[in-house]
Structure 1
Amino acid sequence: MHEAPQVTAADISRLAGVTRATVSNWRRRHPDFPSPTGGSEARPLFPLAEVRDWLREHGVESAESPVRELRSVLRAAVRPRDIPALIDELPALAAESGARSQDDEVGRAIRAAVRADGPIAVLDVLAERGLEESPTTGVYPTPEPLARLMVELAAGDRDTAAPGPPLGTVLDPACGGGSLLRAAAEAGAGELLGQDVLAVQVHRARVLLALDALAARATVAGRAWPAPSVTVQEGDSLADDAFKGVAVDVVVSNPPFQQRDWGADRLALDPRWEYGVPPRVESELAWVQHALAHLRPGGRAVLLLPPAVAMRPSGRRIRANLLRAGALRAVIGLPAGAAPPRQIALQLWVLTRPAPERPAADEVLFVDAARLADAATATPNWTESAEIVTAAWRAFDRGDHAVPASREIGEAAAVVRVMDVLDEEVDLTPARHVRVAVDADRTGEAVTTALRDLLAEIDTLREAVAGLDVLTAADAPTWRTATVRDLAAGGALEVLSPAAGVDPAPGDLGTPALTGRDVATDGDPTGLVDDGWQRAVLRVRPDDVIVPLAHGGRDRPVHARVAPEKWHGAALGPNVVAFRVDPDRLDPWFVAGFAGSPDVTAATLGSTVRLVPHRIRIPLLPLPRQREYGALFARLHRLRAAARRTDELAVHLDRLVGDGLTVGVLEPPEGES
């Protein structure tokens, strides 16, 4: 099944934990070093088995973790199209009972990785290789916490004990790797049905649901349910439904976003479109109706959708019909970062198949979880947000359409009459319908706190500006300058730029990483060194000058700065370099100020406006004079930071006061205008 694994010199360097130059030296100095068996003169390929034997004979231990070593073996020996069959063999390989044909380099690497990190991690690595040649535009994995929340919303109120499994039969028509089906299994589903268009994902989901990790079932509703039956089929659910005519209790799905070739023309007369024929640009509304078509009367669907589905004019008629029929029960706006793509605040739509004997629901629940983020950092607490979302839905599902008046839920949720939503736009964006809780005491307290913080920041602004009145006019400068390249050659500073194509050491995994965006916003490090990190790990130290590589020209300088404490120890991530200066020769803030000069446009490269750090020019001034400049550059940084923080607080205060006035919990003093 597998070709003999071959590796490049770069693979050998990672395997042995040495540099490429060391591998080249081994080839020159050791006649017994394995000869190339493929590739080209510029990029030769070596037999992996012979390389391992040679390294062992010369006392060189492997520096790779078993999982990363497995990645190397798969790249060298297994084609992506062969991965599905290998995934099917994983349970046997994990149980050390693989077929004799797997007693090779691939089988040994898989078993070693299973022993070190478990079968689920190995399954992910196999799927990663299998998907390398597959188009996955608009397809994103569902994180475990979000999968659990979606299943929780679909499960119904467990306070009302009902016979049979809590979730009954569950369908995911775009199941991907099976994370939503797995969450449903752990919650007590009796039968799992899945379909995906990619063969790798189908095999991955089947094996995931069969692994021993699911044998220990959670106790649900006071008892442990037996393992569910599982059926996962390959195919396009919209164009070729593998479960046509099958009615289920629950549908949970994270369908593809913004498909343009979903079959709009071929499926125009499809009976699934009870609420309207989806326009070509509304593939998500096709998935919504596909889910409803598979539900039994009273069954429930929870879908993860992009926010545009709630407001695009092309989907207005279908949204209105879903509301009129009582099929759409809740729209829940998630905070940005809850799931990929992380920069978008996604939504959960909770839908029910209307029962013919019941009148259509005339109210809909909106939850805006983004309101739960900290006003200063805009960072949500995901665990707390999920609990509040679940509590708001549970209350609404029980018929408490007033929604509990707790502080958290009151700020994030609102029950709205369907007739009040059916305007010309039928905009279902939660933020449009959720108002601040009507609580005069809390609103007044929040306004007082925001005003105090704003006035404190204004004082910081005044302090930063006050030191600028001592500046004096000067003639054109006569100083000499040197490029960063020259300063580095002379030992005055070191340019730290992470080399690409380098796997991190095991001890570096999990390290926060600083990105260009973090530098631009003066935020905390948002990157992470993980198994996919393909660059050297260089950590930030105190007094390092951090320079973002993206540059907006004279009107948008780069704003280099000296690393604050919150960045110390973080890895340098994409679009960031650091200058590590000799403090006896260069002042860090002096270097940062000139690295962020508008004239640094001379150091940019082409139309991409990307900074070339080595071309930046720094004046050659005595160290005491550098420190005088550096003190002013540091003051300017405080000025910019205070101005940005003042603007954020002013916007926050504006929203608090504006909402308080419009809902009637704040009012201006009488007799004043």
Structure 2
Amino acid sequence: MQTSGDPAPTVPTVSASEISRLAGVTRATVSNWRRRHDDFPAAVGGSENRPVFDLNEVREWLIGHGLDPARSPAAELRAVLRSRLTPADVARLLDELERADGRWTIGDHRDSDEPVDEVLRALDRCTAAEGMRVAIDILAERGLEEIAATGVYPTPEPVATLMAAVVAAAAPPIDVLDPACGGGSLLCAARAAGARELYGQDVLAVQVARARLVVTAETGVTPHLGVGDSLSADAFAGLEAAAVLCNPPYGQRDWGSAELAFDPRWEYGLPPRGESELAWVQHALAHLRPGGTAAVLLPPAVAARNAGRKIRANLVRAGTLRAVIGLPPGVAQPWHIGLHIWVLRKSDSGPVGDHLLFVDTDTEQPDTDWAALSDRVAEAWRTFLGATPRRAADAGLAAVARLIDVLDDTVDLTPARYVRTDLEPRAVSDRTAAAVTTLGESTTRLAAQVAALTGWRESPERSWRSVTVAELADRGRLDWIRAVHGGPVDAESAARPVLTAPDVASGAPPSATTATVAPAEATVLAAGDILVPAVRSDRGGGRAARVAGPQDAGAVRGPHIHLLRADPASLDPWFVAGFLGGGENQPMTRTATIRFDPSRLRIPILPLAEQHRYGALFRELFLTRVAAREAADAAERAAEQLTAGLTAGALEPDDTGDRR
């Protein structure tokens, strides 16, 4: 393998931030070492603001001072990758990488390539300490750094397992296709559910290489993989599989609606330009053999948008759509919404079912046992497939609706519309009263918070002198701990609550969750940490940064959260958090990609006393937003409870008089 660009340096180098991750300390600590220790290794390159150091000299220095630079092989692998290979180099490495005799190799027939050899050694160390999936994920992160992919999200293992269980409910699938396979999570789940032949395609070559390595290593099956856009360049045209699993890109506007207008896959209607998800649904159906099953993970808006009503109606009327399973927010990206799993079956010339299964798993209970809940969902689906579909109804979880009742003017397939909890009048009345009481309490808190939102005055127009997050990190004013992906969690971290990306915007405290982080990447939060979600976190598409409080201290930082630790002698945390999401930073925080890089966000240069004044007001503003969100959610829940009771006949208006 030949690397690109200028000749590689003779020694691997690391930045000051990468040294901090190697040593398990903050960026400010590394700056202090450089100032206080005359024997600290001198910079060998870079710039005055971003120096780089000889990795081997740094290791020797750390060991000589009683520090273990290898206690985080994952951090070391990241440092070596950044110093030795470009993202394009890593993409080629992934494509050639193989696992042989317990080691990583790219083949014996090549010239010695020092940068690649160094990476392979670091990759072996990371694999031995953290596992193969963590090591490959780190490689893929580097390989994807220069690729702008939007609307593409990984499929967490619990969700992938549920989707595979659904398609395997009737019989273990012999062959499975994932036309947007990403890193291979769904293919691994399909193999665990009994599949023997695995097919996958992805538009990103890095993801295809990643899937090849992950699936082969974890399942022992070599998958059949293709590179390209499945909608416009199907790598498996003509393939009919027993099952299709798919977590497609969301919100694509350029999926080829005009070029593919006469494509034979659109059996249920031409998908409108803004309904790319319904193109993926029909693509999945086109790859099923008669009697096959597909499970497609979709955003909830697909179930109700007016533009897709005709296609939804045709899917329901033909008996092709068999179930819609609503997931709770926080189990898959985008974290702030509850996704839906659409379960579809291709007709095998047998009788068409006249019922549709709806499942709503959003129990609003933070301590929900996801494994037990998944078992109930799978059991409801298996029961629905039996001779008496109506027996699949499960109070509070699953409902069975007649197709004729679904085919109204809107064909809204949102599960919550059909799943009814206990409709005994007393129970409904008690729940409604409790919801209204909660609404009253939340509006009281909101009113008090609004009253506290004071302390500003008119200011003459001023222009800011500012500095970027990267520059603050380079100067030791803050430590930037990058966001990580989910992965296996160690025993120590598993015992701690986890703060997820949705918790950052909502202000919710950490709790038990299905989101996990790999041992080497686990970061325990401290009060004062600045938390910046790597995923969009509000209705406007922005990222609502906040500061960790005492209730967050001791929790583990969940996936997709950047963490900034500010030097309190230089920076007020709430001042930083407030400016991260406003002003000239706003366009950058609204980017759709989950590989969000906060390094270019700018912070004004102000005296610490003035920062404190701004920070105090930003904190009150955040608390007001939290109180407003809680009141809005409480109003929605109260309205839902009362509406459901009135329309189901469990409640009726009393005799208190004319409300008009």
Normalised by the size of structure 2, how large is the TM-score? 0.71
Alignment correspondent of 1:373 = 364
CA displacement at 1:73 relative to structure 2:
0.4
Question: How far is 1:316 from its partner?
Answer: 1.8
Find the aligned partners of 1:13 and 1:639 in 2 and give their Cα distance.
Answer: 36
Per mean C-alpha deviation after superposition, the further-off stretch among 199-208 and 609-618 is 609-618
Is residue 175 of structure 1 aligned with residue 198 of structure 2? no
Distance, in Å, in 1 between the alignment partners of 2:262 and 2:635 is 53
1:340 to 333, 337, 340: 333
Q: Deviations over 1:475-525 (max 9, x none)?
A: xxxxxxxxxxxxxxxxxxxxxx98233579x99978768799858855203
Determine which of 82, 87, 90 is the counterpart of 1:75: 82
Aligned to 1:434: 419
* C-alpha displacement of 1:641: 10
Matches within 5 A, 1:229-308: 230-308=223-301
Moved more, 235-244 or 1-10: 1-10
Structure 1's 399 and 443: CA in aligned 2 closer, same or farther, altered over 3 A?
Answer: farther
Superposition pairs for residues 316-355 of structure 1, below 5 Å?
Answer: 316-355=309-348
Q: Distance in 1 between matches of 2:530 and 2:246?
A: 46
Separation in structure 1 between the aligned mates of residue 160 and residue 530 of structure 2, nearest angstrom: 41
| Residues 407-455 of structure 1: CA deviation (Å, up to 9, x unaligned) | xx22232222222222332222222333334334643554576688789
SS in 2 for 1:388: helix
User: What is the identity, as a one-letter code, of the residue corresponding to 1:207?
Assistant: L
Q: Which amino acid aligns with 1:105?
A: E
Higher alpha-carbon deviation: 1-10 or 331-340? 1-10
Task: Report whether the alignment pairs 1:386 with 2:365.
Answer: no
Q: What's the counterpart of residue 478 of structure 2?
A: 499
Q: 1:57: how far off?
A: 7.1
How far 1:343 sits from its partner (Å)? 1.1
Give 1:176 deviation, angstroms.
0.7
How much has 1:89 moved relative to structure 2?
Answer: 2.7
1:565-584 superposed matches below 5 A: 566-570=551-555
- Cα contact 1:180–1:253 (8 A) shared by 2: yes
Written as runs of structure 1 = structure 2, the 5 A alignment for 1:95-494 is 95=103, 101=112, 104-157=117-170, 166-211=172-217, 213-215=218-220, 228=221, 230-355=223-348, 357-370=349-362, 372-374=363-365, 381-404=369-392, 409-440=394-425, 442-443=427-428, 446=431
Instruction: Give CA-to-partner distance per residue, 1:617-668, whole Å, 9 cap, x none.
Output: 999xxxxxxxxxxxxxxxxx99999999888667645543442333223456
d(CA) in 2 for partners of 1:566, 1:373: 20
Aligned match of 1:662: 647
Distance 2:398 2:426 in 1: 19
Q: Is 2:13 the counterpart of 1:22?
A: no
Which letter does structure 1 place at the counterpart of 2:479?
A
Q: Which amino acid is the alignment partner of residue 527 of structure 2?
A: V
Residue in structure 2 matched with residue 491 of structure 1 by the alignment: none
On the 8 A contact 1:170/1:192 being kept in 2, the answer is yes
Offset at 1:148?
Answer: 0.3
Q: Is the Cα–Cα contact under 8 Å of residues 246 and 296 in structure 2 kept in the other structure? A: yes
Q: Tell which deviates more after alignment, 172-181 or 119-128.
A: 119-128
CA contact (8 A) 1:332 1:368 kept: yes
Listed as ranges, the matches of 1:579-594 within 5 Å are none
Report how far residue 90 of structure 1 moved.
Answer: 4.5
Structure 1 spans left out of the alignment, 5+ residues = 159-165, 216-227, 469-496, 547-557, 582-590, 620-636
Distance 2:246 2:154 in 1: 11
* Aligned mates of 1:109, 1:545 — CA distance in 2: 31
Q: Distance in 2 between matches of 1:302 and 1:538?
A: 37
Structure 2 distance, partners of 1:143, 1:670, is 51
Q: Could you tell me whether the CA contact under 8 Å between 1:516 and 1:576 is conserved in 2?
A: no
Q: Secondary structure at the match of 2:97?
A: helix
Structure with larger RCO (C-alpha < 8 A, sep 6+): 2
What's the % identity of the aligned pairs?
43
Change (3 A) 1:576 1:99: closer
Within the alignment, does 1:540 sit opposite 2:527 as a pair?
Answer: yes
* Aligned mate of 2:608, from 598, 608, 614: 614
Structure 1 counterpart of 2:100 = 92
RMSD: 5.1
With over 3 angstroms needed to count, the CA separation of the structure-2 counterparts of 1:289 and 1:638, relative to structure 1, is closer
Q: Is the 8 A contact 1:500 1:535 kept in 2?
A: no
* Amino acid corresponding to residue 133 of structure 1 in structure 2: E
Counterpart of 2:278, as a letter, is L
The answer to whether the Cα contact below 8 Å between 1:450 and 1:649 also exists between their aligned partners in 2 is yes
Bigger Rg, which one: 1
Unaligned runs of 5+ in 2: 452-475, 484-489, 532-543, 587-602, 614-621
C-alpha separation in 2, matches of 1:449 and 1:308: 29
- Tell me the distance in 2 between the aligned counterparts of 1:39 and 1:669: 76
Cα deviation, 1:103-141, whole Å, max 9, x if unaligned, reads: 832122111111111212111111111111222201000
Q: CA deviation at 1:531?
A: 7.2
| Higher mean displacement: 291-300 or 113-122 | 113-122
The offset of 1:239, in angstroms, is 1.1
Distance 1:615 1:287 in 2: 55
Letter in 2 for 1:180: L
Change (3 A) 1:646 1:137: closer
Counterpart in the other structure of 1:222: none
Greater Cα offset, 525-534 or 311-320: 525-534
Change (3 A) 1:126 1:93: farther
- DSSP 3-state at the match of 1:110: helix
